[in-house]
Amino acid sequence: MVNVVLVVLYVLAGAAASLGLAVFGPAEPALCAMVGVVVFLALMQAHSGVRRGLDRRDTRRQFAMLKQATQETAVALQDANARIEAVKAATAARADAQSKKIVSELKVLESLMRDFATRISEKAKEVPADQEFIERRAKDSARSYLDTLGESDLLETIRASLEENRVDLYLQPIVSLPQRKLRYYEALSRLRAEDGSVIMPAQYMKVAAPAGLMSVVDNLLLFRCVQIVRRLTQKQSGVGVFCNISGDTLCDEEFFPQFLEYMHHNRDLAQHIVFEFAQGALTKAGEKGEENLRYLASLGFALSMDHVETLAVDFAALKAMGFKHLKVRAETLINGMGNAQAAVAAEDFKKLLSRHGLNLIAERVEDEKEVVQLLDYSVDFGQGYLFGEPRAVREDSLRAVEKAAPTQIIPFRKTA
């Protein structure tokens, strides 16, 4: 562009010199040249002035654009800061609300523990432990004495376990088949005796049920499940927990309405907790019990039936009450459909359940041969020692659960 302008100026200067030659004649060549030079310099000056004006205008335009961009950036930063503050405030509010809810639940849990211990202590006073039991426990400290305990001794052992906080929550994985991806945990409660022996539900229920304590046991398990679920769902939104409710609790006219009210106010847990009832409990539930189950399902909670002894079941009625899962022992599916009074063969059982919206969970799966057979029956989920045994929840194992992906089986640390 500059070269073109110079050429034009040279041409104009030459034209001026030619004009001077025409005016002054060939006798004044120096004057003609001077005229050309003057004209050239004047044109150069004029061009420089115009160019500076254009540059100033362009600079002003660029400054204006830069200023506008700066203002827009400042507005965007203010908006971003406002959004960040809003997110911080919302996060803090949620964390505060969550903390208050957890604190509230822990207070209820503490109250239940005291109630549980008090009621057992009162029951224990009716049949005091004798000196012979104390001496025998001392002599048998190197081995488990649970199998030798009478009812009063077992009650005393349970009372001591509660007073000394030897109450554990166990989790056992439930996996999808055939992928074997972790989908649920089943929550199980265990008590530990003084020598470290684990008191299984079948052992403590025979004492707790006649004493009217099962609703307290279930309440304790429920609140611990809630704590676990709230921690799990912070990391694994797709993992749920099966929580067992006993038949005594289902028929408890004092506790179960309170339980339903609590779950009504905690419907946010509906996608993560499945309530499980034994088949025998449902048989004895009666009209009121079935009404309670339907109300629980109306809150969004899925229901499951386990401890299935007979498959002569009204599956349409189960669906109407809100049941989504049916647990059947692997051995029953493989060899015992006839003994369980099933209306169809194992190959067609899943199709029957699907017509009623029920998932089939094979429990007590022990070896790979059983898995191969179960896959032929289109089983939805598997549970058993093959996929993971029940492990006590400790803080370190809980952190492992929180970090694990939903596709993993959690390698819990074994406990005594």
| pLDDT (tens digit per residue) in 175-196 | 999 999 999 999 988 878 877 7
The tokens 């809630």 sit on which residue? 226
* Per-residue pLDDT band at 81 (split at 50, 70, 90): confident
Q: Measuring CA to CA, which residue among 369, 396, 364, 368 is closest to residue 383? A: 364
Which pLDDT does position 22 carry in this prediction?
58
DSSP state of 234: T
Give the number of other Cβ atoms within 10 Å of residue 359's Cβ: 19
194-216 mean pLDDT: 74
**Strand, coil or helix: what is 363?**
strand
The percent of residues in the chain predicted with pLDDT above 70, rounded, is 65
User: What is the gyration radius of the CA atoms in the chain, in angstroms?
Assistant: 41
The mean pLDDT of 5-31, rounded to a whole number, is 58
Please give the average per-residue pLDDT across 22-43, as a whole number: 61
The pTM assigned to this predicted structure is: 0.63
Angle (CA) 114-147-394 rounded to 5° is 50
According to DSSP, residue 170 is labeled: E
Q: In the predicted model, is pLDDT for residue 210 greater than 70?
A: yes
Confidence check: pLDDT of 334 > 80: yes
Widest pairwise Cα distance in the chain = 151
Pick one of 3.40.710.10, 3.40.980.10, 3.20.20.450, 3.40.50.1820 as the CATH number of 167-403. Answer: 3.20.20.450
Query: Across residues 38-56, what is the average pLDDT?
Result: 70
Q: What is the pLDDT of residue 21?
A: 53
pLDDT band at 131 (very low <50, low <70, confident <90, very high): very low
The secondary structure element, H or E, covering residue 288 is helix 286-298
Q: End-to-end alpha-carbon separation of the chain, Å?
A: 90
Q: Give buried/exposed letters for 306-331 (b at 16+ CB in 10 A, else e).
A: bbbeebebebeebbebbbbbbbbbbe
Contact 124, 152 (CB under 8 A): yes
410, pLDDT greater than 80 = no
**In the predicted model, is pLDDT for residue 412 greater than 60?**
no
Among 210-224, 237-251, 256-270, which stretch is predicted with the lowest mean pLDDT? 210-224
Window from 35-39, 54-58, 242-246 with minimum mean pLDDT: 35-39
- Tokens 């629980």 locate to 296
